[in-house]
Structure formats: structure tokens, C-alpha cells
Amino acid sequence: MAVDTVELETTLRTSIPISHLEIIDQSNGCGENYAILVVSDAFEGKNTLARHRFVNELLKKQIAQMHAFSQKTFTPKQYETWLERQNAS
Amino acid sequence: MSALQNFHVVSSPVHFQELLSQDLSRISLINFWAPWAAPCAQMNEVVLELSRKYPELLVLQVEAEEQPDIAESFEVEAVPSFIILRGHTLLGRISGADASSLTSSIAAHLRPVSFVQAKSYSNAQPAPADTETPAQLEERLRGLMNRERVMLFMKGSPDAPRCGFSRKTVGILRDHGVQFGSFDILSDESVRQGLKVINNWPTFPQLIVNGEFVGGLDIIQEMIENGEFDEVVVGKAQ
């Protein structure tokens, strides 16, 4: 069963302030393998483990329907640094 | 060298099913391996030898990380691992590079004779700690987690990892020059189950810094990207 990405996005956006969001379908169309990239102020002061646990809990229902799920979480500042580094290399 | 009729390198789940479904009364041996694991190279030889010796045996070579769906469906979580089937019925599984167990299991299933096969386990477990109370176990786990500043609970050892996730984690730590201690959770089932509970994390490897759970491979990779890795694991601030 394909995952409802609209619902996934809505769940995220209504729970935390999102400054940037990417939902990447890595499944070649079967809709069961997703990677997300989330940039939010809500991650400020939280370590990576806490962020992952938070997102996993929030998207529990959707993740249960997927075969594979991975996430990247950034604060807006970390995201900027990360982009700069990506562009530099 | 003539090609073996009964030896197949599996290229996809569909291919796997096709091979297996051709004759459901046939005994098959599935070898889950990885090219980076030295014990697999040695066991691949054993498997090849078995294919030669028993032409009636169907031998399926599955590169575990290339075929994650197949590996997962058999709950294979470390290499090498061997599954013995008749059709779709599971007859046995052998974990680790245990050539004698593998050879004797195959012999037992292909020549159903009257003697009872002595059971042998590949990973000699320390005496089951029936007497260990939950409180004692927790104390032991806390002790292990604090043995060094950075502790990695993994499958296998740093020089002979038995799972790709563990192997990658070791690689990252070494690349960053992090000194760490390690513990093979495949060698101790109470530690394995206990850590899942106290760290509230279902999988391994688990990285511990200053006695506290930091994350698994995904989190470690992300920490490298967001800068937390240098701060927490490498400990540059100190």
C-alpha cells in the first residue's frame, strides 16, 4: 500500500514550524520507501537522537506502512551550513 | 572447471522464488554472505564443496546486502548465515562460519538415516544467566556502557564485523580517529535484549558515549552532517 505523502506532510506541518521540507520517494514508484529532510526551529537545542525519536513518534502511522524510512533533521542554521558545505565540495 | 548445475547466484527476489519453486520437495541451502566479510570467503568454499558433493542439493548464493528483501524475509541479520529448506519449509539455520555444523546438517537432511544428529550451536553462548536478576543485568549493562568513554555495541568485532551497519559504524569511528571499546552482542543474548530495553532502541549497532546512548548508524551519519559528531563523539570541545 502506498503511503499518503500529503497526510505525512500535513502531520509534520501542523506539529512543528517547518522552514523547509523535502519528501523523497526512493522506491521507484511502489511508494514504500521514503527519505525526508526536515528543517525546523523546533530542533534547536535537541540532539539528533531526540529529533529522530520525535519524528518517528509523530509519523508512526505512516512509517508503519513503509518498507524503509530515513530522515535528516536540521535547524535552519545547521541547514545553511550544510548547504554551504555541499556547494563548496 | 565445469559449471555446477545445482549452484545458483541469486539476482533478485523473483529469481529466488523461481529457483525455489521448481521442485518443492528438494532440499535447498541458502548462503547469505557479504564480500567484505572474511569468514564468508572461507564458507563460500565450503558451500561450493557441498554443491559438488550433493548434486541433488539446490544451492542458492545470496549476497545479503544486494538482496535485502530476501535477507529480511529470513530474518538474516549477520553474515555468514545459512538457511536449509525443503521447498518453503525451514529445516534449519546456522549462524556464523561453522563449517562442521553446516556440513553435518546438510548430510543429515540429504541422507535421512536413523541416527539422531547431535545438536551443535555455532556461537558458544556463555552459560545462560538464569540466575541474573533484572537489577543485576542492568548493573552489568551500565558497567559495560561505561567501560570506555566511547563504547560500540555491535554484531561481531571491529576487525570481523558480521553486519554491514556495524561495519560502517566501525569505519566511521576509525576514519575520525575515535578511540572506542566494543562489545559483540551476538555473543551474549541477555546483553542484546537488555540494551534494547534500557536504550529504548530496537537495533544494533548502538553507540554509547559517556554511558549514554547516542544512536545507531543513521543518527551517527546525520550527526556528522550537522556537526554534532565532532562535538559529542570526537570530543573536540574537551
Please give the residue of chain B at the shortest CA–CA distance from A51.
B219
Q: Is A52 on the interface with B (CB under 8 A)?
A: yes
Residue B70: the pLDDT is 92
Tell me the fold of B134-234.
Glutaredoxin (3.40.30)
CATH for A5-88, options being 3.40.50.460, 3.40.190.80, 3.90.230.10, 3.30.300.90: 3.30.300.90
What residues 172-231 of chain B have any CB closer than 8 A to a CB of chain A?
213-215, 218-219, 222-223, 225-228
Residues of B in contact with A43 (CB under 8 A): none
- Chain B closest CA to A52's CA: distance in Å? 8
Q: Residue B9: in which H helix or E strand, if any?
A: strand B7-9
Amino acid at the residue A81: T
> CB–CB of A48 and B219 under 8 A?
yes
For chains A and B, CB pairs below 8 A equal 29
How do the domains of chain A map onto residue ranges? 5-88
Residues of B in contact with A70 (CB under 8 A): 218
Q: What pLDDT band is residue A37 in, cutting at 50, 70 and 90? A: very high
Superfamily of domain B7-110: Glutaredoxin (3.40.30.10)
Residues of B in contact with A72 (CB under 8 A): 222, 225
> CB–CB of A48 and B222 under 8 A?
yes
Amino acid at the residue B179: Q
- CB contact burial B158-172 (16+ within 10 A = b; e otherwise): beebbbbbbbebbeb
Phi-psi region of B106 (alpha: psi -120 to 50; beta: other; left: phi over 0): alpha
- Predicted structure pTM score: 0.65
- DSSP three-state, residue A2: coil
Residue B125: the pLDDT is 42
Q: Is B70 on the interface with A (CB under 8 A)?
A: no
How do the domains of chain B map onto residue ranges? 7-110, 134-234
- pLDDT over 70 at A4, yes or no: yes
Residue of B214, B219, B226 with shortest CB distance to A74: B226
Give CA separation, A28 vs A2, A32, A34, A67, B172, in Å: 12, 9, 10, 13, 29
- pLDDT over 50 at B237, yes or no: no
- Chain B closest CA to A78's CA: distance in Å? 6
Q: What pLDDT band is residue A55 in, cutting at 50, 70 and 90? A: very high
Please give the residue of chain B at the shortest CA–CA distance from A37.
B222
Q: Do domains B7-110 and B134-234 have the same CATH topology?
A: yes
Kindly report the average pLDDT of chain B as a whole number: 87
Residues of B in contact with A71 (CB under 8 A): 218, 222
> CB–CB of B218 and A70 under 8 A?
yes
Residue B121: the pLDDT is 36
Q: For cell 564443496, what's the residue?
A: B49
Residue A32: the pLDDT is 77
| The C-alpha cell that represents A83 in the structure block | 548547504
- Alpha carbon distance B185, B199 (integer Å): 14
The interface pTM score, or ipTM, of the predicted complex is: 0.79
Residue A1: the pLDDT is 54
- Chain A closest CA to B109's CA: distance in Å? 35
Q: What pLDDT band is residue B22 in, cutting at 50, 70 and 90? A: confident
